[in-house]
Chains A and B, each alone.
Chain A
Amino acid sequence: MTETMHGFMTGPNAGIAMLVLRSLFFVLFILVSIMAARGGRARKRGAGPASLIVAVALAAIFACQVSWQIFGARNADLLRFIRRHNRRASVDVRRGSILDRNGAILAIDDRASDAGRRYPLGPAAAHVVGYFDARYGMAGVEKAADDTLTGVGTTPLEDLARLGRGLVESQPVEGKDVRLTIDARLQRKCHELLEGRRGAIVALEPSTGDLLALCSAPSFDPSDPSPRNASPQDAPLLNRATQGRYPAGSTFKVAMASLATEIGVKPILDCPGNGFRAAPGAQPIRDVEYYSYKREGKVWPGFGRIGLKTALAHSSNVYFAQLAQRIPADEFNRHVERCGISERIPLFRKEGSEEGVALSAGSIPHVSNGDVKARSQLAIGQGAMAIAPLHAAMWTSVVAGGGVLRMPHLDLGRETEARRVISAEAARTVTDMMRSAVAEGTGRNAEVEGAGVCGKTGTAQTGGGADHSWFVCFTSSTRPRMVVAVLIEHGGFGSRAALPVAREVIKEALRLGIIHHSAQGGGK
């Protein structure tokens, strides 16, 4: 029977049948409403003031409804909203696509799907691209680039109000596409590398500030960004690469070495095995080896008298704790600021406003010269320090960029601020140090054939649980084309969890041709 009815309901029959049924409903409902409202038993007593109060309240509600339903077209704000965010058939808005640096699709309109939007990379790029969802609104670049994507960013409000609802209904709106600096292939690889872990990967081009990959795990499905089934620790909506806050661990020694080299404080220091005490009776800062020797029943003799290069290569906490005392506090404070840690950095700017996707300021407290303990703690990336993986990538980018920090960003083609933080010469020296960390120090396993990787491990102590595992690096030493920062939450030693991931990212970038084997000038 349904088949027959379906057959009947094709063509003009359907329109006539719908018209008849809808009209029937209207006539009947109006009739019945009047009958129901008029009928009812006559009463001896009135309903009292309550009836009047409710009548006034309902009348006010109705007046409010009329102001939107009938006169909504006179409200410029509402019109603007309808034109941009309304998927009703009467308003034909084709939302622009979001593309990666090579034109690969990251988000595209899909009327067939329930969500109305398709994300080919799915969870892999969810934090960057964001979502556009009827139920949950918008986030990420979808939100920041909304003006461009819907193509109304430039229409003045007054015009819209004057044109009125009729125009909104009849004119299709064509949105523009948005290009990101992301490389979809690398982004996908990063997502795969973080499978099953909590952490983040940042890959950026130091000369332009282009973010090639910005990945956070665990992630979510941008087609269904509902928060269900997520444990608080997983926090899948959190973009750990920019919004996560962690102690930097030894990766901060890169920033310390840059500063020390820049101001010419490169002493040879004695690094005894039993560590450095900020004050008599204070908990000493020791090298990691102290503990590994102790476990084996041996006594760590210390590094002895070493210089900055050896100290960085072998990540000597004792050296850096002492070095911090020789660096003037105001130089330290200024350097932290110059590295962009204490400012808000827009990654994707919303047109004509400061809103959008951004890296909010990390926190590294200002120190004073008398503050021995805080300075020694901060120098090894501990203490009252909370930064995002992208911050670590930025101070690494200072070295990779020949002393110039190019502010990171996601919008392809935007010229961001280039800030000289240290001299080119100092950057070359620190590059050397980071190179030797990979050649003979703690980062030994990071080397990729012919890539000339320069890197620094980090193992950050946390309030509880295993240490956070860090690795920052760039490649190559002579032609830095890509900076990579990896954080694995509670991954243990930097060399164990984060380093192999960074290595895989570099290998993939080489394979994809994003960076080239350094036949033209490789590492040493």
Chain B
Amino acid sequence: MKARRSEASDVRGGLVFPLAWLAVAAAHAAIVALRLVASPAMPWWELMPFWAYTAAMAAVWALHASGVWRFDRQLFLIPALLVGLGLAMQFRMGTLAEGRGTGFALSIPLGFAAMAIVFLAASGGRWRLLRGVGGLCYILAIAALGAMLAFGRRYRGGIYLPGNINPSEIIKPLLVVFLASRLARQGGRRKSSGGGLMGVLALWAVPMLLVLALRDLGLLVLLGATFLAMLYAAEKRISHLIVGALAVAAACAGLCMVSAHARVRFDVWLHPFSDPTGSGWQILQSLSAMNAGGIWGAGIGAGTPQSVPIASSDFIYAVMAEELGIVVCALVLILYWRFFTQSWKMGACIKDPFGSLLAFGMTAAIALQTVVNLGGVTKAIPLTGIALPFLSQGGSSLATSLAMVGLLMAMDDEPR
């Protein structure tokens, strides 16, 4: 009975889909208007990603409202709203105008397509098949890391394969699948013999060492913390959490010792004003942008966020803070939190320990990435150079995040 009621409210609340689209459309309209003030020439093809977004929203709304697709609409709606907001900010930044945004422009249709495909492929309990491919995922992740080590070029602290592809995005979900299947198997044997745990640790050490060799501080923190979170979710032992946290901290400290790049990031975090025009420039421009924003922001298109280095990718949150103000920022943080919480609740309801761990891990990976990016941009923690899920420019980040959302939507197997 209760399930029926929630179903009904889901359909009635379907109005939120067009409203979300309208909010994104209003932001776009404001930017178009601003462009038209400056010049009558308006390259309309720059709006192509927006039309792709519109089509995706309309399709998902229709499928959801007609009951063909059944999923918790919050799991779709919050990411979709954030993606729309990010799209508006990218349009405002002229990411597409300069011709360098092709990857991003494609990532909207591709990302939603990936989400739909993953959703259709994994729904109806078919996601359970992932349990059997944990080892394969592990090998693929190692291969991707190996390729980065062998062929990667370093660019602003990140590692990219030829064509500016950043495979580190795909590594996260692959390793989550692996860990979920492995830890679930572990749990079955009860109560974790030390040997089983050592086995997971040994397997986990390989990708971690590769990331250390890559000297990618962001990925190191992300993978380390995801592992800890999943280990704790599986075993519920505080001691693992404490020892693991110390190990991750030690790995970070070690990386800071061998890599000057990582050390500079730590120093800048502690003393940003000691070299304001050199290493502190980026974070200080970000904080200046926030300061310029105030409560209600400078208004869409009225700020000068381009003075923040790499504003459209890692620092997109600073752009929002400047132009949309702290009120919208607070709402964005609440939206993120609601999405994570809802997704974790969904995972907790799955009876199968593998599914439960998988949903938990996928969500945790996105949540940790969000916290690490936002913490860096607001100077709460050192900068690590990782993208903000759903909002950043990075094409591979957006597509991967949306695919993960598709999986989470599909895993909801509560009886309705």
Contact = CB atoms under 8 A, between A and B. Distances in A.
Interface in B292-333: 292-296, 298-301, 303-304, 306-307, 309, 321, 326-333
A146 B304 CA distance: 21
Interface residues of B, number: 91
A279 interface: no
Nearest to B12: A39
23 contacts: A2-B36, A3-B40, A18-B299, A21-B300, A22-B299, A29-B23, A30-B331, A32-B20, A37-B335, A37-B338, A39-B10, A40-B75, A42-B2, A47-B348, A48-B233, A54-B340, A57-B371, A58-B336, A58-B374, A65-B329, A72-B290, A78-B273, A143-B277
Count chain B CB atoms within 10 A of each CB in A39, A72, A73 and give the residue with the most. A39
B341 interface: yes
A47 B309 CA distance: 37
B158 to A, nearest CB: 15
B6 interface: yes
Contacts of B281: 85, 137
A171 interface: no
A149 to B, nearest CB: 12
A72 B36 contact: no
Interface class of chain B by DSSP: helix
Interface in A35-81: 35-37, 39-48, 50-51, 54-55, 57-58, 60-62, 64-66, 68-70, 72-73, 77-78, 81
B287 A78 contact: yes
Interface stretch (A6-14, A310-318, A337-345): A6-14
Given A32-B81, A70-B326, A135-B309, 20 more contacts: A6-B37, A22-B30, A26-B327, A29-B85, A30-B327, A32-B16, A33-B81, A36-B81, A40-B72, A41-B6, A47-B341, A51-B341, A61-B375, A65-B329, A82-B291, A86-B292, A87-B304, A90-B292, A138-B278, A143-B277
Nearest to A24: B26
A11 B15 CA distance: 37
B47 interface: no
Contacts of B292: 82, 86, 88, 90
B276 interface: yes
Given A32-B19, A64-B378, A134-B309, A50 B290 contact: no
B376 to A, nearest CB: 10
A65 B326 contact: yes
Contact of A45 (B20, B75, B348): B348
B270 interface: no
A132 to B, nearest CB: 9
Interface of B: 2, 6, 9-10, 13, 16, 19-20, 22-23, 26-27, 29-30, 33-34, 36-37, 39-42, 72-75, 77-78, 81, 85, 229, 233, 273, 276-278, 281, 284-285, 287-288, 290-296, 298-301, 303-304, 306-307, 309, 321, 326-338, 340-342, 344-346, 348-349, 360, 363-364, 367, 371, 374-375, 378-380, 412, 414
Name, among B23, B72, B229, B303, the residue most crowded by chain A CB atoms within 10 Å (CB to CB).
Answer: B23
Nearest to B300: A22
A36 B335 contact: yes
A48 to B, nearest CB: 6
A18 B338 contact: no
Contact of B288 (A45, A55, A78, A143): A78
A73 to B, nearest CB: 7
B274 to A, nearest CB: 10
Contact of A33 (B30, B273, B296, B335): B335
Interface residues of A, number: 68
A33 B74 CA distance: 11
A293 B229 CA distance: 78
B30 A25 contact: yes
A39 B380 contact: no
A138 B276 CA distance: 10
A265 interface: no
A36 B20 contact: yes
A54 B367 contact: yes
A420 to B, nearest CB: 38
Nearest to A49: B232
A89 interface: yes
B64 to A, nearest CB: 12
B303 to A, nearest CB: 7
Please provide the 7 A-B residue pairs with the shortest distance between their CB atoms, ordered closest to farther: A40-B74, A6-B40, A28-B23, A72-B291, A47-B344, A21-B30, A43-B345
A165 interface: yes
Contacts of A42: 2, 6
A17 B301 CA distance: 13
A85 B276 contact: yes
B284 A81 contact: yes
A82 B321 CA distance: 16
A70 B378 CA distance: 13
A28 B26 contact: yes
Interface string A297-336: 0000000000000000000000000000000000000000
Nearest to A31: B19
A190 B2 CA distance: 84
Contact of A9 (B16, B37, B291, B298): B37
Contacts of B33: 9, 14, 17-18, 21
B277 A137 contact: yes
Contact of B10 (A41, A50, A69, A78): A41
Given A45-B348, A87-B304, A88-B292, A61 B371 contact: yes
B349 A85 contact: no
Contacts of A90: 292, 298
A37 B81 CA distance: 11
Nearest to A55: B337
